[in-house]
Amino acid sequence: MTTSGSRLSANQSQAPCGFLILDKPAGVTSHGCVALVRRRYGLKRVGHGGTLDPAVTGVLPLALGSATRLLPYLDGAKAYRGVIQLGLCTDSDDLTGAVLERRPLPPLSRQELEAALNPFRGPILQRPPQVSAVHVQGERAYARARRGEHSELQERAVTIERLELLSWEPSSGQLELEVRCSAGTYIRSLARDLGEALVCGGALARLRRTEALGFTLSGAVGLEDLEAEPPPPPLAPLLALGQYPAFTLEPGDLVSWRCGRRLAGPAHLSEDQVVVILDPDGNLAGMARTVPDGWLQPRLVLEAMG
């Protein structure tokens, strides 16, 4: 797939548009990062690809301008490196919360830890932390927790695709993990549940997100980089859509596409498949889905007409 340009189309080059990948530092909220980018690029439309807690660092993808419309199409899987502290329980399931209980550490070998981690690999049910953004009766769970209220949060189906034990320090009770998981997975819940399985308690000590929406730290910039003049250019939206097949429009089909008409697609595509649509110059023209009889039904049309 071509990745020409760093804008949604050549005709939109006046307005910043694409993806900016921040390496968020600790102590800054995701909302604060969005507000900073809005001011720096002079944009109202800025969206993020998954909130990071203030204490968490790492990959925070931000969609600028019309690229916000592409967020539902991006890969929701995320990857982290984190440190879990065994031997205690907190009200937030991490070390920022109040300690509820301390327990002695059992003697654990690396092999025993691996065995304890194994049930958390693959599809699992996971209960979100009390301090989370989950809605409870129209209110965020963290708002209720701050008032000292306990919420009955339902377990959710998530998938932990990779769970690797990187290190284990018996003297401190800390273990480091590498995790790749589906959207909606809480690493704080993983820390809590691992501690429960080991009957000693556990809480998340540190966490760094290394991948989100298909973007990694290799393309990330720091908040200090936003002070440059001009600020860093957004990455091409096509860089985040490589998991989908692409279809390039013929010049005579461009007007029909921009009017939202369905078009005949390539015969090799299966039904109900998401397809990236490129204009004849190789720029992103929108997103479609295949329907019966080989047609491409527009789902997102850039530079729409009429």
The count of other CB atoms within 10 Å of the CB of residue 292 is 8
Report residue 282 as tokens. Answer: 């190789």
Report residue 165 as tokens. Answer: 């034990």
User: What is the full DSSP assignment across 45-104?
Assistant: -EEESS---TT-EEEEEEEEGGGGGGGGGS---EEEEEEEEESEEESSSBTTS-EEEE-P
The count of other CB atoms within 10 Å of the CB of residue 164 is 13
Q: Which one, of 195, 183, 194, lies nearest residue 79 by Cα?
A: 183
Active-site entry in 23, 53, 75, 225: 53
Distance CA 107, CA 262 (A): 64
- Residue 250 DSSP one-character state: P
Which distant-in-sequence residues (6+ apart) come within 8 Å of 186 by Cβ? 93, 126, 128, 129, 132
DSSP alpha helix (H) spans, 164-264:
187-197, 254-258
Long-range contacts of 247-251, Cβ-Cβ distance < 8 Å, separation of 24 or more: 247/275, 247/276, 247/277, 247/278, 247/288, 247/296, 248/278, 248/279, 248/280, 248/282, 249/277, 249/278, 249/279, 249/280, 249/285, 250/280, 251/280
193 is catalytic: no
Phi/psi for 251 (5° steps) reads -55, -35
Contact 70, 287 (CB under 8 A): yes
Q: What is the set of active-site residues?
A: 53
